[in-house]
Amino acid sequence: MALNITDIKRIAHLARIDISEAEAGATLTKLTGILGLIEQMQAVDTTGIVPMSHSQDLVQRLREDVITAINERELFQANAPVLGNGSAEKAVDGGLYLVPKVID
Amino acid sequence: MMANNNWEVVIGLETHTQLKTNTKIFSGASIQYGAEPNTQADEVSTALPGVLPVLNGQAVECAIKFGLAINAEIPERSVFSRKNYFYPDLPKGYQISQFELPIVAKGAVIIQVPANGKNAAYEKVINITRAHLEEDAGKSNHGVVEGMSGIDLNRAGTPLLEIVTEPDMRSAAEAVAYAKKLHELVQWIGICDGNMQEGSFRCDVNVSVRPKGTEKLGTRREIKNLNSFKFMQEAIEYETQWQIETLEDGGKIQQATVLFNPDTGETKAMRSKEEANDYRYFPDPDLLPLEVTAADKARVQATMPELPEAMKARFESEYGLSNYDAASLTTSRDVADYFVETVKHGAQAKPAANWILGALTAKLNTELNTEHKSIASNPISARLLAALLKRVQDNNISNNAAKQVFEAMWVGEIAGDVDAIIEAKGLKQESDSGAIEGIIDEVLAANPAMVEEFKAGREKAFNALIGQAMKASKGKANPAQVNEILKKKLAA
């Protein structure tokens, strides 16, 4: 699969990374190299091999459905970032964590 | 209105059902609804560094139950994957879900689409593509603080089973019938409380249209987060019409996610999928593959209740109920259990069905039921209803008197004793033939004109005389006996 400079810019946009023309060019070369490695791996015949989903050959253990957590809101929110308005005020309000307004 | 007859709508549903557990899918924090913000957000829900998910066995059991209920394949091995996206109510930066290998594979649900105008009711099989376990995200509250969003992570990590259908539905009515059936089923098998206001059962509906007779699917738009059947119906109807009109006007449908606005009855694109997220799914290295053995399935199977279809068939064969009554009694497990209890306490099946589906359902559905009494908790227990119906069966009271007793019991007039109410209200039916003969003699003597009419061949006069006799007995005489004795006397 061949990448072009438009793909690089689109990927950078999706990752929210601001890159210059020069950086885009350099990234294109690097990513094309990585894709080359992947193509090499894909050329291996894997017919009949069950895809591995974990490096250890074990199965998941299950937890009993019992409440073990206690309310540690105060402790966790003492660790919240500051509001960022110059004050030392934590970005919490009425128990909510505050973040810059996001509307999809 | 455009030429709708030239188009076919194709609908598929994705339903998020919140599983009935005590704790989150990957940690021991409570999932109780309505708690103060972030008081149920432990270190796993808030994604503090170094924490690891530990899978809740009860959530797995719920998923297996669902698989068994829809006769699905339940593979021996399923895998949890990370679905990566960025949003503040998802603090890990990924949602743990299942992708290539879900816990429940292909199954099917049979729906009953109700009659509509000239179209008769019919049954249809809706194929289920898959159902997978995943965690819910937190909630964002906008507008609490100016310019900020407030994040509540209590819901983060709540166990969900996402149930995905094939694009098998061909009308809003079919989609709603499926959603209702699924809603009933997950409550029946006890894996979801079905509370739509609290978001325990949320549907995303994929809608596309294509020219009738063609195979190729049109471009679909997804209506997100419908939490009422009424809105679902309206949203699909509006969306279908909008797509048909757009295409007939020479436009194109863009794949998009849309929201339904209940106030305007319209759907509106929320975001276009042109710059669609690439979720970069990959197996979550923090979780090992989940194994479900034949023994696990057998163990869960042993805890399964009789399913609605089987119970409906049994009600028809065992109790001789009509298909309609049997279907109505098995729309919810509470109603079915109540019916079974009533019969167990000695009531005959057919009258029990009539009273439950008639008087009792009416009481529960009326707006006057402000205390929201339910069939499982109302003043008239199955035992009481059975006691009442037995008094009708043994001719102690008439059907009309039974209605009065029913009313008295509903408001708790004389709690818990049918016979005491019958006694107190003087409703006991007169079955002493001597007493009834006395009443009839009086009626005949007082109404010579009616007797003459009857003898002149007017049948109506007979009913008038019955009415007089019933009135004279204050409605307490056994009507069958009055009928018999009156006939005998007039023939004499």
- Of residues B272 and B474, more confidently modeled: B474
Indicate yes or no: CB of A67 within 8 angstroms of CB of B30. yes
Query: At B150, is the secondary structure helix, strand, or coil?
Result: strand
Of B223-237, B439-453, B456-470, the range with the highest mean pLDDT is B223-237
Picking from B23, B58, B145, the nearest residue to A93 by CB comes out as: B145
Tell me what percent of the residues of chain A surpass a pLDDT of 70.
97
Residue B282 shares a structural domain with residue B324:
no
Residue B358 is given by DSSP the state: I
Q: Count of CB atoms within 10 A of residue B59's CB?
A: 28
Residue B465 shares a structural domain with residue B388:
no
pLDDT at B233 over 80: yes
Q: Where are the domains of chain A?
A: 5-42, 72-104
For the beta sheet containing B94-98, the strands, ordered from the edge strand earlier in sequence to the opposite edge, are B94-98, B80-84, B282-283
Q: State which residue of chain B sits closest to A15, comparing Cα positions.
A: B86
Residue B350 shares a structural domain with residue B474:
no
Residue B471's pLDDT is: 84
Calculate the alpha carbon distances from B79 to A46, A53, B58, B281 in Å.
20, 7, 17, 12
Tell me what percent of the residues of chain A surpass a pLDDT of 90.
70
Residue B1: pLDDT band (50, 70, 90) is very low
Crossing angle of helices B57-69 and B294-301, in 10° steps, is 80
Mutate to test the interface with A, among B21, B86, B101, B140 (most CBs of A within 10 A): B140
**CATH assignment of A5-42?**
1.10.20
Residue B191 shares a structural domain with residue B42:
yes
Residue B415's pLDDT is: 63
Q: Which residues of A37-58 are buried (b: 16+ CB within 10 A; e: fewer)?
A: eeeeeeeeeeeeeeeebbeeee
Q: Does ipTM top 0.95?
A: no
Residue B272's pLDDT is: 61
**Average pLDDT of the segment spanning A73-99:** 89
Q: Which residues of B, range 263-302, sit inside 8 Å of A by Cβ?
A: 270-271, 275, 277-278, 283, 285, 287-291
**Average pLDDT of the segment spanning B88-100:** 95
CA distance B234 to A55: 49
* Contacts with A73 from chain B: Cβ below 8 Å: 36, 38-39, 41
Residue B31 shares a structural domain with residue B140:
yes
Q: State which residue of chain A sits closest to B26, comparing Cα positions.
A: A63
Residue B334 shares a structural domain with residue B417:
yes
Q: Beta partners for B290?
A: B78
Residue B460: pLDDT band (50, 70, 90) is confident
* Contacts with B84 from chain A: Cβ below 8 Å: none
Domain count within chain B? 3
Average pLDDT along chain B: 91
pLDDT at B343 over 50: yes
Q: Is residue B408 situated within a structural domain?
A: yes
Residue B276's pLDDT is: 61
CA distance B349 to B286: 55
**Average pLDDT of the segment spanning B36-53:** 96
Q: State the CATH number of the domain containing residue B445.
A: 1.10.10.410
Residue B412 shares a structural domain with residue B440:
no
Contact B59, B24 (CB under 8 A): no
Q: Which residues of B, range 30-89, sit inside 8 Å of A by Cβ?
A: 30, 36-43, 46, 48, 54-60, 77, 79, 86-88
Mutate to test the interface with B, among A68, A85, A101, A103 (most CBs of B within 10 A): A101
Residue B17 shares a structural domain with residue B103:
yes
- β-pairing, B221-226 vs B256-261, is parallel
* Contacts with B27 from chain A: Cβ below 8 Å: 69
Range of the domain at B116: 4-295
- Of residues B454 and B244, more confidently modeled: B244
| Helical (H) or strand (E) element with A38 | helix A21-42
Residue B28's pLDDT is: 98
Q: Which pLDDT tens digit goes with each residue over B292-322?
A: 999 999 999 999 999 999 999 999 999 999 9
pLDDT at B95 over 60: yes
**Average pLDDT of the segment spanning A39-64:** 91
B301: Cα within 13 Å, side-chain hemisphere: 12
Of A50-59, B123-132, B257-266, B351-360, the range with the highest mean pLDDT is B123-132
Residue B373's pLDDT is: 79
- Of residues B270 and A75, more confidently modeled: A75
Mutate to test the interface with B, among A14, A50, A63 (most CBs of B within 10 A): A63
Picking from B43, B57, B147, the nearest residue to A65 by CB comes out as: B57
Compute and round to an integer the Cα radius of gyration of chain B: 30
Give the residue among B1, B335, B47 at the shortest CA–CA distance from B188.
Answer: B335
Calculate the alpha carbon distances from B411 to B101, B354, B415, B416 in Å.
54, 21, 9, 11
Alpha helices in B382-426 (DSSP H): 382-393, 399-410, 418-425
Indicate yes or no: CB of A71 within 8 angstroms of CB of B291. no
pLDDT at B232 over 50: yes
**Average pLDDT of the segment spanning B446-466:** 85
* 3-state helix, strand and coil shares in percent for chain B, rounded to the nearest 5: 40, 20, 40
**Average pLDDT of the segment spanning A30-52:** 92
Q: Which residues does B327 contact at the CB level (< 8 Å), separation at least 6? A: B112, B312
Residue B420 shares a structural domain with residue B437:
no
Tokens at residue B440, please?
Answer: 């009839």
Residue type, B169: M
Q: Which residues does B124 contact at the CB level (< 8 Å), separation at least 6? A: B110, B111, B113, B168, B174, B177
Q: Beta partners for B126?
A: B109
Q: Which residues of B, range 139-168, sit inside 8 Å of A by Cβ?
A: 140-142, 144-145, 147-153
Q: Which residues does B295 contact at the CB level (< 8 Å), separation at least 6? A: none
B402: Cα within 13 Å, side-chain hemisphere: 22
- Contacts made by residues B326-330, CB under 8 angstroms, sequence distance 24+: B327/B112, B328/B357, B329/B353, B329/B356, B329/B357
* Contacts with A80 from chain B: Cβ below 8 Å: none
Residue B148 shares a structural domain with residue B49:
yes
Indicate yes or no: CB of A97 within 8 angstroms of CB of B145. no
Residue B283 shares a structural domain with residue B163:
yes
Å between B328 CA and nearest CA of chain A: 35
pLDDT at A104 over 70: no
Q: Which pLDDT tens digit goes with each residue over A6-29?
A: 999 999 998 899 999 999 999 999
Residue B2's pLDDT is: 46
* Contacts with B29 from chain A: Cβ below 8 Å: 67, 69
Residue B3: pLDDT band (50, 70, 90) is low
Residue B417 shares a structural domain with residue B355:
yes
pLDDT at B332 over 80: yes
pLDDT at B240 over 90: yes
Residue B466's pLDDT is: 86
